[in-house]
Amino acid sequence: MAALRSELSKLYRMRITWASFGVVLLLVGLITWGSHHEQDHLDVDREFGSQFIVAGKTVTALFIANVALQVALVVLVPLLIAVVVGGLIAGERQTGSLRMLLSRPVARWKVLIAKLAASWAYAVTVTLFIGLCGLGLGQLVFGWGDLVVLRGGLTIFDPQTGLLRMAYAYGLGCLAMCSVAAVTLLLSAIVNNPMTAAGLSVASLLVSGIVAEMPYFESIKPHLLTSHLDVHREVLVVSIERADVVSSVTYLAGYLVVAAVIALIVFERRDVTC
């Protein structure tokens, strides 16, 4: 617990951590601002034209929270995790503080587990912060109401169901981002430079995403991490395909555990020469 407290204390005292929360707030603020000025011309009209007449509000606090989640989890949050978590080991290795830490009588596995837990804490808090900002700003500007989801059709959830589905979606988003954090921490344990760790993390996600779109690699697509990072979308439909959700959750948990175990082995065995 002392190691975890220590890691959390370091993580939440770093400027980059608070800057990342600022960036999230800015993004959600922009989404809210844009929605406020464009609410009469939202995708509902673009997608369905004159086929529907939507009575009542389409833009609500839940709507903003959902849009923010969809937008942020594609690039922004993985990028922020790459930058923040990438420095947890490689950054300390570069500055020499890891040398000082590990020259003290402390078990390396405890330090690594603490760093993993801190990285997951960050992934969860930054993801939930999106929801908090979305609901807060959305409530402030648009008020409460139904959750309108535009994904291959139009789905409208009543506020109570919508809130529950958003909770599921954010929970799954947290798991997905924890997997990204575990992979990033593994890279951070391997390299000496935090920017290299961050770059490799982003690059691996991009390459995985590109590979997944190539027909030649169709057979491996289901096994790629990026194929499951949007699992939160699966619960924003009327009838949830449980098998698909369970499959994605299993993959995400698998990536998380495997990356954590490899990071542990690397961290235990690697010489501290910086």
Partner 1 sequence: MSGRNCALSKQPVIETRGLTKRFGPVRAVDGLDLTVPHGSLFGFLGPNGAGKSTTIRILTGLVRPDGGEALVLGVPVGRRLSLGPRVGALVEEPAFYPWLTARQNLRLLTSLSGGCSPAEIDGTLETVGLTGAADRTVGGFSHGMRQRLGIAQALLPRPELLILDEPASGLDPEGLAEVREMLRRLHEEGMTIFLSSHLLAEVEMTCTQVAVVMGGQVIAQGDVGDLLGALAPGTRLVVDDVQAALRTLAPIEGVHAEAMGDHTLLIGGEVDTSAVNEALVRAGVRVSEITPVRRTLESVYMQTVGREPSAGVAADDEGNSEGGMSGLSDDGGDRS
Which residues lie near partner 1 (CB under 8 A)? 2-3, 5-6, 9-10, 13-15, 95-97, 99-107, 110-111, 269, 271-273
Task: CB nearer to partner 1: give 3 or 252.
Answer: 3
Nearest residue (CB) to partner 1, 23 versus 101? 101
Give whichever of 116 and 135 is closer to partner 1, judged by the CB atom.
116
Q: Are 253 and 171 in contact (CB under 8 A)?
A: no
Residue 26 CB, shortest distance to partner 1, in Å, is 23
Q: How far does CA 178 lie from the centroid of its chain?
A: 7
Q: Which helix (H) or strand (E) holds 49?
A: none
Q: Which is nearer to partner 1, 66 or 94 (CB)?
A: 94
- Of the two residues 242 and 270, which places its CB atom closer to partner 1 in the complex? 270
What three-state secondary structure class fits 147?
A: strand
To partner 1, the closest distance from the beta carbon of 74 in angstroms equals: 32
How many residues are listed for the chain in this entry?
274
Q: CB 14 → partner 1: shortest distance, Å?
A: 7
How far apart are CB 112 and partner 1 at their closest, in Å? 13
Q: How many helices and strands in the chain, by DSSP H and E? A: 10, 2
Question: 206-230 burial, b for 16+ CB within 10 Å, e for fewer?
Answer: eebbeebeeeeeeeeeeebbbbbbb
**Separation CA 185–CA 190 (nearest Å):** 9
- Nearest approach, Cβ of 11 to partner 1 (angstroms)? 11
128 near 174, Cβ under 8 Å? yes
Cα–Cα distance for residue pair 180/188, rounded to 1 Å = 12
Least separation in angstroms between residue 27's CB and partner 1 is 26
State which residue, 111 or 205, has the beta carbon closest to partner 1: 111
Per-residue tokens: 131: 């929801």
